[in-house]
Amino acid sequence: MYERNYELLRSKFKEFFLPTLFTSMAGNICLFVDGLIVSFLIGAGNLAPIQSVAPVITFVNLIYWMIGLGGSVLCSVAKAEFDDEKSNSYFSVSITSLLSIGILITIIGLLFSNNIAQLLCISQPALAPSVNQFFIALIIGMPFLCYMMSLSYFIRADGIPTLPFRAILIANIVNICCDVIYIKYMGMGLSGAALATTTGYFVGSVIISYYFFKSERTLKFIRLKAAALFSYLKEIVKSGFSSSSTQLYLTLKLFIINILVGMYIGKSGIVAFGICYNSLFILYIFLIGTAQTMSPIVSVYFKEEDYSGVGYIIGRSLKIVLASSLALSVLFVVCPQALLLLYSVKDPSDVPIVLNAIRIFAVSYVGIAITFLYTFYSQAIQKNQLSTIISLLEGLICPIGFAVILSSMIGGNGIWISFTIAEVVTIIFIFAYSRYFNRKTDGEYSGFFINKHNDDEKVFEHTIKGDVKEAVNLSREVQNYLSGNKSAALVSLAIEEMLVNIINTNEKVDSIDVIVRDNDEDILISIKDTGVDFNPVIENEDLKFDSISVLNNIADKIDYSRVLGLNSTVITIKN
């Protein structure tokens, strides 16, 4: 008996995960190292003005996450629905909108830099000149950041995951190199640190633009009327806001926490918060890498009602984020001195405050991992309202609420403790909601991740190797499964014709997934393979073995799309 072995999904997850992880690693490690270099060259005290500007960075992250990531998820869904025009529309609207917004952010930032700097350090006004110095040089690079990051989401969704990794890696290497050049050799101080970041964004934007010269790309710019453009943009923002809202809440959270830390602990507290916040860059290597790998795969498989595939991907993703977050939490709770040494914290007034903050803050890592992954997952399965509520609780209401209450009760430690309490409360909410939703749907959805389960009596899942004999045997087995159904013979013949053509079109195909779903009114045959592009709707006269015309005569409908680097074919045969 043939069974589904998930080898195709495993290999596809690995293919996407490693480049996405390396992309996340390139970005986050370099941001982490960037902070180390700055503190080493001009002193850990300068982390305070950099931390004060952090809300600006997270605000820009909000913009390109919302439009770039939101648009890329919708683009993947459109591809799963075999609608190329729609997927190209999402691509065109997202990239052009983000470029325009990035330029607007730079103009506004330069015009009102003094006012923004004063607002960012309201509880420590003495930092304003340093903040303004750093902010001006940084804001120039925002159009390049928006363009580079948003395009990277679409490129990964288009099945070309290595190009974004190379572009972002080189951008961050340039950033680090320029840090040394601008700060050490040109004596530019904080301005040099920000200008190095801007230079990296520019170089990364140039490199990632190579996508438009790649022959295998499927996404193209198309012209849209103004009404259609705003309609698509509204849909993109609605889709992307749920996951990107984490950045909006992070912006507000950083701004308010900076104020509270400045009030209750002072400048040393802001340095400590900066180091705690920078420590998250290491954790986010695994969280972002996993979540952004999971998101497009889950969105496609959930749309196609392949709930077993969704369950496999979310299970694999959860194991990765739990293992990585737990390891880092234990490391920094037991050895907080590691971060102290890395950031060259030597001021006696800073050392005890930083050590204490790191130990308490690191406890929140596991909770952050779970809620972060769940936010992306709920967006991928189109539960945007749930994703928004989770982001609001975890990213804004709970941490700020508990920080305000606890800091007034027990002082500075209350601020650090509030981060862990926020994660615990949010996870309790998710658990309660999943139990409620499971009961509401009479068990149609189940589990913490509220996923559906296939009806084993009506859904048959199989994986075969690229072997003609296995294809023929599978077609016969499916016919036995459907014995008594008047369409059984046609379904069997359709599967055999399709699989044989896939195998003969490719020199080698490691795995082919075949899912047969009996919907009473019709039978759906879903086939995915990693071979060369093969559209069964288009008959190929050059192939002697091509009997695909038989399939077209059998099927009532055939849908084909190249999605996630896979051939995805859905054949409909009416009962």
Residues 376 and 262 in one domain: yes
The region of weakest confidence among 45-59, 110-124, 248-262 is 45-59
Contact 451, 377 (CB under 8 A): no
Of 281, 323, 242, the C-alpha closest to 74 is: 242
Of 72, 77, 61, 62, the C-alpha closest to 94 is: 72
CA distance 505 to 512: 13
CA distance 103 to 148: 13
- DSSP state for residue 114 in the 8-state scheme: H
CA distance 140 to 195: 8
CA distance 291 to 17: 9
At 11-52, the pLDDT tens digits run 778 777 777 776 666 556 656 677 777 777 877 767 777 778
- Residue that terminates a domain, selected from 440, 473, 493: 440
Residues 6+ apart with CB under 8 A from 116: 56, 109, 135
Q: What are the residue ranges of helices labelled H in 265-364?
A: 267-303, 307-334, 337-342, 351-362
Q: Tell whether 282 is covered by a domain.
A: yes
Half-sphere exposure of 323 (CA within 13 A, CB side): 8
Q: Is the pLDDT of residue 261 over 80?
A: yes
At 475-496, the pLDDT tens digits run 888 787 777 677 777 878 888 8
How high is the pLDDT of residue 417? 94
Q: Tell whether 42 is covered by a domain.
A: yes
Q: Is the pLDDT of residue 55 over 70?
A: yes
Residues 435 and 563 in one domain: no
- Residue that terminates a domain, selected from 440, 473, 502: 440
Residues 96 and 238 in one domain: yes
Residues 216 and 272 in one domain: yes
CA 130 to centroid of chain Cα atoms? 33
Q: Tell whether 278 is covered by a domain.
A: yes
CA distance 173 to 186: 18
Residues 366 and 474 in one domain: no
Q: Is the pLDDT of residue 203 over 90?
A: yes
Highest mean pLDDT among 20-29, 145-154, 299-308, 361-370: 361-370
Residues 261 and 223 in one domain: yes
Q: Is the pLDDT of residue 456 over 70?
A: no
Q: Is the pLDDT of residue 552 over 70?
A: no
CA distance 65 to 161: 17
Could you tell me what percent of the chain has a pLDDT over 70?
A: 92
Q: Tell whether 446 is covered by a domain.
A: no
For the residues 368-385, what does the mean pLDDT come to? Answer: 87
How high is the pLDDT of residue 128? 82
Contact 73, 299 (CB under 8 A): yes
Q: Tell whether 445 is covered by a domain.
A: no
Residues 427 and 468 in one domain: no
- The total number of structural domains that make up the chain: 2
CA angle 270, 271, 277 (to 5 degrees): 85
Q: Tell whether 448 is covered by a domain.
A: no
Band the pLDDT of 248: cuts 50, 70, 90: confident
Q: Is the pLDDT of residue 527 over 60?
A: yes
For the residues 173-187, what does the mean pLDDT come to? Answer: 88
For the residues 238-262, what does the mean pLDDT come to? Answer: 81
Residues 430 and 533 in one domain: no
Contact 371, 397 (CB under 8 A): no
Residues 274 and 396 in one domain: yes
- Residue that terminates a domain, selected from 406, 440, 474: 440
The region of weakest confidence among 39-53, 126-140, 283-297, 540-554 is 540-554
Q: Is the pLDDT of residue 196 over 80?
A: yes
Q: Tell whether 234 is covered by a domain.
A: yes
What are the CA-CA distances from residue 531 to residues 33, 111, 501 (Å)? 40, 53, 11
pTM: predicted TM-score of the whole model, two decimal places: 0.71
Q: Tell whether 467 is covered by a domain.
A: yes
Containing structural domain, residue 528: 459-574
Residue 560: give its domain's CATH number: 3.30.565.10
Highest mean pLDDT among 48-52, 112-116, 340-344: 112-116
Residues 435 and 392 in one domain: yes
How high is the pLDDT of residue 286? 86
Residues 236 and 93 in one domain: yes
Band the pLDDT of 340: cuts 50, 70, 90: confident
How high is the pLDDT of residue 544? 44
For the residues 46-71, what does the mean pLDDT come to? Answer: 83
Band the pLDDT of 247: cuts 50, 70, 90: confident
Band the pLDDT of 328: cuts 50, 70, 90: very high
Residues 17 and 137 in one domain: yes
**Distance from the first to the final alpha carbon of the chain:** 25
- If one counts every other C-beta atom within 10 angstroms of the C-beta of residue 154, the result is 24
How high is the pLDDT of residue 150? 87
